[in-house]
A and B are shown apart, each in its own frame.
Chain A
Amino acid sequence: DTGVSQNPRHKITKRGQNVTFRCDPISEHNRLYWYRQTLGQGPEFLTYFQNEAQLEKSRLLSDRFSAERPKGSFSTLEIQRTEQGDSAMYLCASTARQGTGYGYTFGSGTRLTVV
């Protein structure tokens, strides 16, 4: 069990560029979540997958955001035409069970800075 891995750790991009983040969950976890955390705030839910199916998307996830989990293993989060307001820490988490009483394991996050 190597934990939840996120890459890259840091990303600086110019406004208008596209960026893609990757999350590798714990191998036996079938649920994968994406959260966004801005300075001084708690993590906000963006979307989650059960295996390869995207089951829910938050209203925070505008049309410029897209997430995939093609084979039910790793996931990618892409932001198109980045804006300065997209600057945040993007966190990935995974869990093994429905009902989430078993807790989530979080990755270290990808910090995005849009300049």
Chain B
Amino acid sequence: AQSVTQLDSQVPVFEEAPVELRCNYSSSVSVYLFWYVQYPNQGLQLLLKYLSGSTLVESINGFEAEFNKSQTSFHLRKPSVHISDTAEYFCAVTITDKLIFGTGTRLQVFP
């Protein structure tokens, strides 16, 4: 069975500071990895995904995540956050048929 652990339930940070949201997964087989973002009262939006190839994947709004097979991690990073990045972030894993989500990390950006 596979599972996803997001180690931090909340991450407070000041605007323009760097941030890292941690995600670890457990699986006995190769997986696809995703980060989704959820703004208040909205559905989930795909932020970025790792399928294969380069272990560093980037989103269009400055986030990046690195797949580390030996540490079974897929941490999300941004070098400089904005107020508008305030949201809930979910890490997810799948092998074939369905997504399994972590419990989420609330990123709160303060001015």
Chain A contact residues, CB within 8 Å of chain B:
4, 6, 33, 40-45, 48, 55-56, 91, 93, 98-101, 103-109
Query: Can you give 10 A-B contacts (C-beta < 8 A)?
Result: A6-B43, A41-B104, A43-B99, A44-B101, A45-B100, A56-B97, A91-B44, A103-B34, A103-B49, A108-B43
> Would you give the 0/1 interface string for B30-47, flagging 1 where the beta carbon is closer than 8 Å to chain A?
001010100000111110
A104→B36 CA distance, assembly (Å): 10
Let me know if B103 and A48 touch, CB within 8 A.
no
**Would A40 and B103 be within 8 Å (CB), given that A100-B32, A101-B32 are in contact?**
yes
Let me know if B42 and A48 touch, CB within 8 A.
no
Contact with A45, one of B32, B46, B49, B98 (Cβ below 8 angstroms) = B98
A103→B32 CA distance, assembly (Å): 9
Chain B contact residues, CB within 8 Å of chain A:
4, 6, 9, 32, 34, 36, 42-46, 49, 51, 90, 92, 94, 96-104
Chain A residues, CB < 8 A from B6 = 42
Chain A residues, CB < 8 A from B96 = 98-100
Let me know if A101 and B103 touch, CB within 8 A.
no
Let me know if B32 and A42 touch, CB within 8 A.
no
Chain B residues, CB < 8 A from A99 = 32, 96
7 new A-B contacts at CB < 8 Å, known A42-B101, A107-B43: A42-B4, A43-B44, A45-B99, A48-B98, A56-B98, A100-B96, A104-B99
Let me know if B103 and A108 touch, CB within 8 A.
no
A18→B106 CA distance, assembly (Å): 33
Let me know if B97 and A43 touch, CB within 8 A.
no
A55→B102 CA distance, assembly (Å): 23
Chain B residues, CB < 8 A from A42 = 4, 6, 90, 92, 101-104
Chain B residues, CB < 8 A from A43 = 44, 90, 99, 101
